[in-house]
Structure 1
Amino acid sequence: MGVLQKTAFEYRRFDAPLGGEIVGIDLSRPLDDAAFARVHEAFLDAQVLVFRDQHALTPEQHIAFSRRFGELQIHVLKEFHLPGHPEILVVSNVVENGRKIGLGDAGRYWHSDLSYKAEPSLGSLLHAQELPQDDGDTLFANQYLAYETLPEDIKRQVTGLRATHSYTLRYDELRQKSDARNPLSTEQLAQVPTESHPVVRTHPETGRKALFVSEGFTGTIEGLPKPVSDSLLAYLFEHSTRESLIYRHKWRPGDLVFWDNRCIQHLAVGCPPGQRRTLYRTTVKGDVPV
């Protein structure tokens, strides 16, 4: 297990609409309860929490730290699980011996991870393994602020509405754009039925309201004619990803980034052709949105 770490680390908020970093902590060693409580508090405050210099972190330790926050969810694309560690989804554009080692087009549309599940993700923890020399940034958008800055008439309009979330919404479109994904099997499709969630959800820990729709997974607003649903969703997608709501994360070697899927959307900017990028992701199960 190793010696428990005490609370001697620093939490710094970014000069951005969200986000912060923790410096002076080694996640390859277990945290004592007081240290973990401080980390949890910082996570809720920042929404996106960056742990710097986690060079020594093994997959087993990554999984163990993630489990401190709850049960882990296993991604439907089992062909991209880290061998021996199904809790970890490999996000990578690397091809070895003619085989894609990971999901190469993850995050091409704004989304909240696993919002298409009945109990969507609490949060995701993404650990840098190999980074490109250029770009490869990730954008995060604050959905508390997205809700709070809605015009009052739109707030009233969306209150109480529900929307469908589907993993397959853009799957075929992504497959046509690249060869990063295989067709889903009947077994995989059965794991990702369409789900319904509130357009505005209340965060179960902070009590704050956040928009909970995304272009990546949200298909229709229930009970509205399709033209009305499409128009309202288009407005919400644009409003919720405005530049004034965004923190742009520029990855450094050793970064582990933990974000709150209950109040955050994110988008991968992309990796320049010919440059390698590999990251390991765990996903913590959340609860039913209300």
Structure 2
Amino acid sequence: MRRAPCVARQPGLHIPGTHKQLENRTFAAMTRLPRVVCQVAGVGGLSLPSRCHVMASITSAARVQTPRDASSPVQRSGVRIAPFDGPLGAEVIGLNLSQPLDADAFARLHRAHLDHHVLVFRDQRISPAQQVEFSRRFGALQIHVLRNFQMRGHPEVLVVSNIKENGEPIGLGDAGHDWHSDLSYKETPSLGSLLHAQQLPSEGGDTLFANQHLAWQTLPESLTRTVQDLRAEHSYLVRYEALRARNPWCPALTPEQIAEVTPVHHPVVRTHPETGRKALFVSEHFTTRILGLPEDESRALLQTLFAHSTRPALVYRHRWQPYDMVFWDNRSVMHLAAGTPDHLRRRLNRTTIEGDAPL
């Protein structure tokens, strides 16, 4: 039985950092908190935590992750759910997504999605129409605000690619390089996203996923008390303007598009509407500030949460294989694109399922 390695055990991790780099980032973020925030959070004042105390918390977080052994997968009707040896994720074996799902298979997939947060389907040679059909089994689909990267004939499909044809990008390329949850900038963010590999580079192009339920469970108690009732602003416009500054191909948004992505406010800690589990719900990609805090305290607290919620002990790194389909729960995880060398080509098709307003 093949096991997907936990990213925390992989040598040479360079995105978002090595263990040592992330240790330094976590400690530095916590020690940069303003005195007022430190005193409220209980992590500072006159005695900031030592590096040992910070890393003891990280080590403790790693110990609580005890996923089911992948050597004992669930198997019914020829379909197996094989959990990864890590903090999240499972491979679905024996299912052909080009064929309709019966009620039993769908129910088991739904349960596995809730339990493991990231599902991997290998070698799925399906059409965009079949991807749309499968995605719709889980809910209505959301259309991305950037219409120019929709697949012709299938507006529900967003093309994610670094490829250019005739000097123009065929898909959304310079995106996802910071941790985020898809469409958190909407009043009703995404339930989940499905990404289907079409063309893969010979190196790079990995996608990382971080378990935000574990991020909440392992948050120091002092910070738990501080953030549990806070709300934060999420904005697509701020991120898109930064993207446009780096990429001249990015078109200006129309007034209609701007109206679709006005900033929204969500709880810093959300409750999963189906499982009742709590999860951190802030990201460096879309979360701009915490409401009710001075700017410097908001920034420092967010940086602390970002560092905590993306520690290696919480992360699964997906190394793409041809025609992989990956389906993740945006209510439970954040993800990040590790990047692709400019001279290599990468293309994937994404569908996004509409969710509920976070509570």
TM exceeds 0.5? yes
Query: Match of 2:16?
Result: none
Deviations 1:179-214 (A, max 9, x none): 452222222111101111000000011111000000
Is 2:335 the counterpart of 1:266?
yes
2:348 paired residue number: 279
How does 1:1-290 map onto structure 2 within 5 Å? 7-55=77-125, 57-179=126-248, 181-290=250-359
- RMSD (Å), alpha carbons: 1.1
Using the alignment, how far apart are the partners of 1:187 and 1:276 within structure 2?
Answer: 32
Larger Rg: 2
In the TM superposition, residue 9 of structure 1 has moved relative to its aligned partner by 1.2
SS in 2 for 1:238: helix
Q: When the two structures are superposed, what TM-score results if normalisation uses the length of structure 2?
A: 0.78
Shift of 1:7: 3.2
2:13 paired residue number = none
The aligned length equals 284
Give 1:142 deviation, angstroms.
0.4
Q: Shift of the alpha carbon at 1:172? A: 1.9
Moved over 3 A (4+): none
Q: Which amino acid aligns with 1:89?
A: L
**If the length of structure 1 is used for normalisation, what is the TM-score?**
0.96
- Structure 2: which amino acid aligns with 1:18? L
Please identify which structure carries the higher helix content.
Answer: 2
SS at match of 2:241: helix
Question: Which structure is higher in strand share?
Answer: 1
Q: Bigger shift: 120-129 or 182-191?
A: 182-191
Matched AA of 1:196: H
Deviation track 1:45-82 (CA, whole Å, cap 9, x = no partner) reads 11010011102x11111000000000000000000000
8 A Cα contact 2:168 2:249, kept in partner: no
Shift of residue 16 of structure 1?
A: 1.2
> RCO greater where, 1 or 2, for CA within 8 Å and sep 6 or more?
1
Partner of 2:44: none
Q: Which amino acid aligns with 1:154?
A: L
1:65, 1:241 → 2: CA distance? 30
- Which consecutive unaligned segments of at least 5 residues does structure 1 have? 1-5
Secondary structure of the 1:135 match is coil
Amino acid at match of 2:267: P
Q: Distance in 2 between the 1:180 and 1:270 partners?
A: 19
Q: Percent identity?
A: 61
